Chain A
Amino acid sequence: MMELWNELLTFFSSEKLLGITRMILLLLIGYALAKLVSSSLVKMMSKRSDLHQVMLVKRGSYYLILSIFAISALHQLGFDLSVLLGAAGILSVALGFASQTSASNLISGLFLMAERPFSVGDVIRAGTTTGEVLSIDLLSVKLRTFDNLFVRIPNETLIKSDVTTLTRFPIRRIDLLIRVSFKENLKRVRKVLDAVADNNPLCLEEPKPVYIFKGFGESSMDIQYCVWAKKENYLDLKNQIYEDIMHAFEEAEIEIPYPHRTFYTENPFSVPFAAKQAPEGLEKTNNTETND
């Protein structure tokens, strides 16, 4: 009993206990300080910087302070940090070989953060996924799609493929594909389209709408009419302007054709007559596709 008591006494008066207490204290202080510094930096930056920068500074400051205190805490326990760093070097090579994909994502993540093709809050299209960027992390970018799904895209994929940032610039162009009948006067059609764009307040006056004649289609003359909108009004204008064009075309009696084919026969009465007769009595028919 006395031996145990003596051992406990020596343990509590030893340097080891003092080291452990210091380590715990350092970790607690480090955690509190990291939280405090990162949240005050966020408060300071939130007015002047965008979400992405704020998030980067928050995480960077938090992990930097925490790691400094963690290293000091380990030092208190008697760990030789130079050995630890050497071991970390060897470990990182081993880990690098073992986790090539993660390392590649990590490096891609650093490039993404440096290059900043998009920020948190932007809407991007990567491959077939379109969504709002929730966070840009070291390994992946998290998106929220418009049907409210959470999508995680590895950074490596984003570095390798085309990424379109839809909300980078304040204004966007809407390309409208319009088909009119061959009998229409194109100058008149253009005038009607310009009037529609002019009357819609969401459609920007400058840059001016662009009119492109795309060519003669199978059943119509194809026109591309491009109008500009504030990025927030993109969908509203796209929906409104098609409706406006429909009404304007109806008023101006401009025909929007549907695909159709016309069959010409040598004798218009031959087909019903032949159908009543034996099959070999069928008249020769001429099947012609026209543009009208």
Chain B
Amino acid sequence: MTKKNSTSASWWNQSHIEQHHGKLWRIGTLSLLVRCLPNEWQIAYSRKNESESDLFKWNVSDSDQTPENFKEQARYVFHETSGLVSFSPLLADRPMICRPRTPFNLTAGEEITLYVSTPLWLEISVGKTQKKLTEIPIHRPSDTWFGPTTREGELCYASNTAARLILEELPQRPHRAVTPVLIRNLADSVLSIERLNVPAPLLPLVQDADGQMWTPKVTLTREKDGDMAGLKIDTKAPKEASEAKVLRKPRIKTSSGALIRAFNAVFG
């Protein structure tokens, strides 16, 4: 049985699985089995508690387990299978709501950068043409509602890690991406920051030379009138990510990187 365990190599590279064999990936809390049969691909996964998993590492090994041992199972039938399976990381399909460890206030005219860590999704595709089979969140974040009332707002995911003012305090995990969020308060009054809406579907995913995932910097500006907030997404990788290369384009394309939103839609 071969076993690969790495912190520098990527977990999303292409892999070859012999027919009637399977491979098991362990990434954070996720255990994912991919089995190749002559006419079908079997994908099965289950999750452990965070306390039972090593969140900082991943590994892949040959496995003779069957999908029945996992909580979720799916079969994809093909005329013939080549044995080639590709993983690719992508950001969440809904905005992520992040909170600082304790709420803080930003005085008039001040600006601050917060670092936010968001979980990644895993896209599984097979064959040389990379036919997409499915996408699975590596860590399934909790659903949450973001809006002024229970009637208005949008469904988002709640990030389970706190936003930090110092980058080094943020745990760096292979299956999470870091987004620098610059918050500017141009209004005359104090801005209380309890939670932030990070528009994950609008962000591209980049990787630096050390293998850490990033997204470009997001600038949230509270405008002078106080009711509106500007949202700007940088086109380049953040300065903290050295030699960054783009891994994935945003899920939703915007014509320009700048949007004006209601204050409530950005700062809650």
> B-contacting residues of A (Cβ < 8 Å)?
169-171, 198, 200-207, 228-230, 233
Contacts and interface: CB of A to CB of B under 8 A. Distances in A.
Interface in B235-264: none
B141 A228 contact: no
16 contacts: A169-B150, A169-B151, A171-B145, A200-B142, A201-B142, A204-B144, A205-B97, A205-B142, A205-B144, A206-B145, A207-B145, A207-B150, A228-B145, A228-B150, A230-B143, A230-B155
B142 A171 contact: no
B57 interface: no
B232 interface: no
B24 interface: no
A270 B145 CA distance: 64
Contacts of B140: 201
B155 A206 contact: no
A204 B147 CA distance: 13
User: Which of B141, B145, B153, B158 gathers most chain A CB within 10 Å?
Assistant: B145
B146 interface: yes
Contact of A203 (B97, B142, B153): B142
Given A170-B155, A228-B145, 13 more contacts: A169-B151, A170-B145, A170-B153, A171-B155, A201-B142, A202-B143, A203-B142, A204-B142, A205-B97, A206-B97, A206-B144, A206-B146, A206-B158
Nearest to A197: B142
Interface residues of B, number: 13
A182 B144 CA distance: 34
Contacts of B155: 170-171, 230
Interface string B135-173: 000001111111000110101001000000000000000
Nearest to A231: B155
Contacts of B150: 169, 171, 207, 228
B52 to A, nearest CB: 13
Contacts of B158: 205-206
B43 to A, nearest CB: 19
B147 to A, nearest CB: 9
Contacts of B153: 170
Contact of B142 (A169, A198, A207): A198
Chain B CB within 10 Å, residue with most, of A170, A171, A205 = A205
